[in-house]
Structure 1
Amino acid sequence: MVLSVIATAFILVLPVELPDKTLFASLVLATRFAPLPVFVGVGAAFGLQVAIAVTAGSLLSLLPDALVSGVVAVLFLVGAIILWRSANSGPEEEHLDETKQGTSSFRVAAISFGVLFAAEWGDLSQLATAGLAARYDEPLSVFVGAWAALLVVSGLAVFLGRTLADRLPIPLIRRVAAGLFVVFAVFAVIETVRALTG
């Protein structure tokens, strides 16, 4: 494992997920169920989603270098545009059906897994993770960094709850994340030009 790649994945994924539906879906689940099984279910869903994204990015890296860096640049530019445009919109909150009290821990974890696994498809963090896996030849490091960031966000939501959601400067976080995406897109464009001219 490479610590710099782990840190890069963590730093890129964390601000993307803070104002995202992930935080609010975890928060809503934690208001209905015991926090620990919610966290276990959410963490397992994130682990599987990150593994899928890393696998997709690693497969992408088998293509020619110029094509890979071009696709990575597009992924990050699209992510930057989406984040910037959504900076002033309200938080994305998942609305969940009311559930019965006294549900078993296993069932709570399974419900949490299902909700978050479905909610994360095509999410910006998944695109970023796939892009990082394609850019770096360190799938395990990308996995660890991205999964750690997602666990931090879900842990904050589950254990700190609504207090955290009310205090997050969502527009600022989204703009910072958009800036990070632009930086990674610029690096990918430079790599594309080098691969085409080299």
Structure 2
Amino acid sequence: MGVSVMEGFTKSLAMTILSEIGDKTFFVAAIMAMRHPRRFVLAGSLGALYIMTVISVFFGWAAPNVLSRKFSHLVTTVLFFAFGLWSLWEGLTEGGASEELAEVEAKLSADPKENGISAKATVKSKVNDDTKKQERPFLTQFFSPILLEAFSLTFFGEWGDKSQIATIGLAADENPVGVVLGGILGHTLCTAAAVFGGKTLAARISERMVAVSGGILFVIFGIQSLLTKVENV
């Protein structure tokens, strides 16, 4: 590819952090961590984000092998500029992360599991408890329902998101190993921050500044990509 692992790592790390702070999946982790054991929320969220990162990088890596190198490079350049302008628009207009927070809170509050009384509290005998365990879905016998909920909400919330598409575009132009490592570290830092104090952090960080910074970063990536000559191989 002619590009270093470190370059892909640095770009992916910066892009992930600026894309995920104040994102929907950030607030999913933050709000769930206030209501459930943090270790389950952290494990479920990170598991989903790691898998999504690998999938996205795979798509980006495969794109130049399916399409021409010049065409995939052009698409990547357009994506960087498009997402840069999108983020700048979000940062210069009202809404943004506040709407994301309200949407996530409404969705989680509507979850019947949040308002229901745990069935385990009503189990009076070991026989009934064993029966209930056997009736659970297969996966919940081995994984916490909270972990699975955090995983599913994060995975499907990230699917098709701006950061996922940007990761695909970045992997098409940069070293895929570096993009994976940078994305994993970026997601780890953001999700850990969300789980261990996300709502406080989100209240202190300027939504507008994060969006504008992310937009500027995407535009810089776009300019760099535009100035990079790629041979059609």
TM-score between the two structures when normalised by the length of structure 1: 0.89
**1:89 corresponds to which residue?**
95
Residue in 2 aligned with 1:20? 23
Per the alignment, residue 157 of structure 2 pairs with 119
Residues 168, 101 of structure 1: alpha-carbon distance in 2 compared, 3 angstrom cutoff: farther
Q: Residues 33 and 101 of structure 1 are in contact (CA less than 8 Å); yes or no, is this contact kept in structure 2? A: no
> 2:17–2:187: 8 Å Cα contact kept in structure 1?
yes
Tell me, in whole angstroms, the C-alpha distance in 2 between the residues paired with 1:23 and 1:148: 15
More RCO (CA 8 Å, sep 6+): 2
Offset of residue 5 of structure 1: 2.1
Bigger Rg, which one:
2
CA apart distance, 1:4: 3.2
5+ residue gaps, structure 1, are: none
Query: What is the deviation of 1:3?
Result: 2.8
SS in 2 for 1:13: helix
Q: 2:54 aligns with which of 51, 56, 67?
A: 51
Q: Is this contact kept in 1: 2:26–2:198, CA < 8 A?
A: no
Structure 1 residue 101 displacement after superposition: 6.7
Residue 135, structure 1, aligned to residue 173, structure 2: yes
Q: Distance in 2 between matches of 1:9 and 1:90?
A: 22
Change (3 A) 1:37 1:186: same
C-alpha distance in 1 between matches for 2:198 and 2:223: 36
The letter for the 2-side match of 1:10 is: L
**Amino acid corresponding to residue 29 of structure 1 in structure 2:** M
* Corresponding residue number in structure 1 for 2:189: 152
Partner amino acid for 1:116?
Answer: T
1:34 aligns with 2:72: no
Note closer, same or farther for the CA distance 1:160–1:80 as it changes in structure 2 (3 Å cut).
same
Choose from 125, 129, 147 the match for 1:109: 147
CA contact (8 A) 1:13 1:128 kept: no
Is the alpha carbon distance of 1:166 and 1:8 closer, same or farther for their aligned partners in structure 2, counting shifts above 3 Å? same
TM-score normalized with structure 2 length: 0.77
Question: How many angstroms does 1:90 deviate by?
Answer: 3.6
Q: 1:180 to 1:161 in 2, by over 3 A?
A: closer
Local SS of the residue matching 1:122: coil
Secondary structure of residue in 2 paired with 1:61:
helix
1:167 maps to which residue? 204
**8 Å contact kept, 1:83–1:174:** yes
Cα pair distance change 1:147/1:31, threshold 3 Å: same
Q: 1:95-131, CA deviations, whole angstroms, 9 ceiling, x for partnerless residues?
A: 3134257698621111100000010011121122111
Instruction: Note the residue ranges of structure 2 that are not aligned, 5 or more in a row.
Output: 121-139
